[in-house]
């Protein structure tokens, strides 16, 4: 029987615990063949990179490089491009004409202060963005050392025996690379590129066990993953990997908060795949989630919706205009386990056909 994994918070990092899915266990997966600049409060002001390589302080959005800024070799995907239009060349640093090795090393704190903007840096340590009101842009987060299962970026704060504190202010990561390639598979197979709650836009994410993990999201902030390309994830031993996952998003204290996956390309092809986007109420109730304009690829089920663990998903779950490769166990499944509904909206979802208009192959049946 194939086991699906729940993410646990342990001392500020994640550990993986097995939990048995109802429907997923009925089938056998098909094997996959592919698989700063800163504000005045930023602590790196006293330990910044040498002035010859630092970004000019007059503009937080100027990009720091080790030489003259060259015109972009690639162009960003046009605004609003669906996930099936994304490539490595038009997301992340490549779309800005940059690469990780061209950027000066960030020498600031791994736990930057509120108000920090890090722009145009190569960050060789994991980041804890618990202070909130932090922006990472046009940068490469590529740690050279990390603890086993430690996320590359997290918004979680200090952890107790059962939970971690949640950031109280927004975090944004955009036009950047998040790269686990400098870490061993054993170290990274149980790690997320991003763990917590925040806004991730137009990033290229690769080389770790799982990609975007909205878990320990708290009760007030909204979340957004838009225009990201997740691929090249890595497994080790009995790891189970998600391209993206949601494990809690309750509305009990803020009924208006929303969580949106829009226009991403998410490929989970490690051989140990839970799926491209796995939504499971392991950590709490989940509602107000919209999945729209994404290309979901790889093994497992490419879109899973599971209720359980004494929690449930709500009545405002939407899947609109997505594309699925249909590999692995198939496009999508639902496990209700006490939930009174399924997808509130399941509309214009198709298997992906790259030769068809707008990528529309056969309709993806309602799960």
**CA atoms of 274 and 241, how far apart (whole Å):** 6
The predicted pLDDT at position 73 comes to: 61
Radius of gyration of the chain (CA): 19
- Secondary structure class of 143 (helix, strand, coil): coil
> Against a cut of 0.85, is the pTM above it?
no
For residue 332, the number of C-alpha atoms closer than 13 Å in the C-beta half-sphere is 24
Note whether 155 and 132 are within 8 A (CB).
yes
Name every residue whose Cβ is closer than 8 Å to that of residue 39 and which is 6 or more positions away in sequence: 60, 115, 116, 117
User: Burial, 172: exposed, middle or buried (Cβ in 10 Å; 0-12, 13-18, 19+)?
Assistant: middle
**CA atoms of 250 and 206, how far apart (whole Å):** 29
CA dist 307 → 289, 295, 311 (Å): 14, 23, 6
User: Burial, 181: exposed, middle or buried (Cβ in 10 Å; 0-12, 13-18, 19+)?
Assistant: middle
CA dist 24 → 20, 189, 237, 278, 353 (Å): 8, 21, 20, 12, 25
**CA atoms of 6 and 215, how far apart (whole Å):** 11
The total number of residues shown for the chain amounts to 367
The predicted pLDDT at position 163 comes to: 84
The predicted pLDDT at position 61 comes to: 35
Name every residue whose Cβ is closer than 8 Å to that of residue 32 and which is 6 or more positions away in sequence: 269, 270, 271, 273, 298, 299, 327, 328
- Secondary structure class of 276 (helix, strand, coil): strand
CA dist 196 → 50, 94, 145, 210, 216 (Å): 32, 26, 20, 13, 5
pLDDT, averaged in runs of 10, over the chain (367 residues): 41 39 30 33 31 32 40 80 98 98 98 98 98 98 97 95 92 98 97 98 98 98 98 95 98 97 98 97 98 98 97 97 97 96 97 97 97
User: Burial, 31: exposed, middle or buried (Cβ in 10 Å; 0-12, 13-18, 19+)?
Assistant: exposed
Helix (DSSP H) and strand (DSSP E) numbers for the chain: 1, 31
Q: Please write the tens of the pLDDT for every residue from 60-86.
A: 333 333 444 444 468 999 999 999 999
The predicted pLDDT at position 37 comes to: 39
91-111: b (≥16 Cβ within 10 Å) or e: bbbbbbbbebebbbebbbbeb
The predicted pLDDT at position 161 comes to: 80
């Amino acid at each position: 029987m194939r086991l699906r994994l729940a993410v646990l918070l342990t001392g500020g990092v994640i550990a993986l615990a097995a939990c048995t899915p109802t429907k997923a266990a009925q089938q056998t997966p098909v094997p996959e063949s592919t698989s700063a600049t800163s504000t005045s409060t930023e602590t790196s002001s006293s330990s910044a990179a040498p002035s010859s390589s630092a970004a000019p302080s007059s503009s937080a959005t100027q990009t720091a490089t080790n030489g003259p800024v060259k015109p972009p070799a690639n162009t960003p995907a046009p605004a609003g491009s669906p996930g099936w239009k994304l490539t490595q060349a038009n997301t992340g640093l490549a779309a800005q004409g940059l690469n990780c090795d061209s950027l000066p090393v960030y020498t600031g704190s791994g736990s930057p202060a509120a108000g920090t903007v890090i722009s145009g840096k190569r960050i060789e340590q994991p980041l804890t963005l618990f202070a909130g009101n932090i922006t990472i842009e046009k940068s490469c987060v590529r740690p050279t050392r990390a603890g086993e299962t430690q996320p590359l970026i997290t918004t979680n704060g200090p952890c107790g025996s059962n939970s971690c504190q949640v950031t109280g202010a927004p975090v944004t990561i955009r036009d950047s690379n998040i790269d686990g390639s400098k870490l061993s598979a054993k170290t990274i197979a149980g790690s997320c590129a991003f763990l917590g709650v925040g806004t991730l836009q137009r990033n290229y994410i690769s080389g770790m066990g799982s990609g975007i993990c909205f878990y320990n999201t708290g009760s007030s902030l909204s979340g957004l993953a838009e225009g990201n390309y997740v691929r090249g994830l890595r497994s080790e031993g009995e790891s189970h990997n998600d391209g993206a996952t949601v494990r809690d998003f309750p509305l009990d204290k803020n009924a208006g908060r929303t969580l949106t996956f829009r226009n991403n390309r998410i490929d989970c092809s490690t051989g140990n795949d839970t799926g491209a986007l796995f939504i499971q109420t392991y950590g709490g109730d989940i509602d107000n989630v919209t999945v729209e304009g994404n290309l979901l690829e790889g093994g497992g089920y490419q879109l899973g919706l599971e209720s359980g663990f004494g929690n449930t998903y709500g009545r405002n779950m939407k899947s609109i205009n997505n594309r699925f490769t249909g590999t692995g166990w198939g496009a999508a499944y639902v496990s209700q386990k006490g939930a009174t509904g399924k997808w509130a909206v399941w509309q214009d979802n198709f298997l992906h056909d790259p030769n068809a208009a707008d990528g529309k192959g056969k309709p993806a049946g309602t799960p």
